Amino acid sequence: MDGLDDLYKDIILDHYRSPRNRGELPVPPAMSAEGFNPLCGDQVTVYVTLDGDTISDIKITGTGCSISQASSSLMSAAVKGKTTSFAYDRLAVFKRLMTIDDTPGEPVNVRELGEMAALQGVVQFPARIKCAILAWNTLDQVLSTHASPQ
């Protein structure tokens, strides 16, 4: 059952069982957005507090399959304390890993992704790519509402 071990790596199962940065932040001052994936009925809400250009805090609530929930947890760990441009950069890399962005260019440097690279196996299960990308798209939504002129 090779494919299955690729999909459900230990890191993923660990983040699914003990999700990091779980919870809510008061809005405002935090910003939030909700994402939904009709395939699995996955739902996530991403809360972000910005300090200047830095994601000083991030919390996530939601329900859904192991891939969506583990990906949320991995994402929160990857971007917490980092700048928004770092987050956007990671989002771009992750989309390439998930083959959502398949414009030719440098191959994805998987090592750069740290624990998030554990989600690489999802690509073998095309139906589940939407589960993996859900939290990232929702983070994108939060950050882009902030970026729009006030």
Partner 1 sequence: MSGDFSSLRSDIPQLTREVHGRRLVYLDSAATSLTPRSVIEAMDQYYERHHSNVHRAVYLTAEEATAAFEGARADIASFISAPGGAEEVVFTHGTTESFNLIAHGWGARHLGPDSAIVLTEMEHHANLVPWFQLRERLGFEIRFLTVTDDFRLDLSNLDELLHGASLISFTGISNVLGTVNPVAEIAKRAHAVGVRVVVDGAQLVAHHPVDVEALGIDAICFGAHKMMGPTGIGAVWAKRDMWAEMDPFMGGGAMIADVSLDGYVPAPDNRRFEAGTPPIAEAVGFAAAIRYLRGWDMAALQAHEDTLTAEALRRLADVAPGRLRIIGPPTLDQRAGVISLDLDGVHPHDIAQVLDQHGVCVRPGHHCAKPLMKRFGLSATVRVSFGPYNTSSDIDVLIDALTAADAMFR
Partnered with residue 87 across adjacent β-strands are none
| Shortest distance in whole angstroms from residue 27 CB to partner 1 | 24
Q: Which one, 16 or 47, has the nearer CB to partner 1?
A: 16
What are the start-end ranges of the H helices in the chain? 2-7, 10-17, 66-79, 84-97, 129-147
Closest CA to 45 of 138, 140, 108, 145: 138
Structure tokens at 134: 């859900």
What are the start-end ranges of the H helices in 26-83? 66-79
Residue 72 has a CB neighbour count (10 Å cut-off) of 32
Site membership for partner 1, residue 92 (CB under 8 A)? no
- Residue 114 to residue 105: CA distance in whole angstroms: 21
Site membership for partner 1, residue 128 (CB under 8 A)? yes
> Which positions from 48 through 87 interact with partner 1, judged by CB under 8 A?
63-67
Interacting residue with partner 1 among 23, 27, 34, 41 (CB under 8 A): 41
| Shortest distance in whole angstroms from residue 15 CB to partner 1 | 12
| Shortest distance in whole angstroms from residue 40 CB to partner 1 | 4
Site membership for partner 1, residue 11 (CB under 8 A)? no
Site membership for partner 1, residue 25 (CB under 8 A)? no
By DSSP bridging, strand 42-51 and strand 31-37 are: antiparallel
Site membership for partner 1, residue 31 (CB under 8 A)? no
| Shortest distance in whole angstroms from residue 59 CB to partner 1 | 21
Question: Rule CB under 8 A: which residues touch partner 1?
Answer: 1, 3-4, 7-8, 13, 16-17, 39-41, 63-67, 125, 128, 131
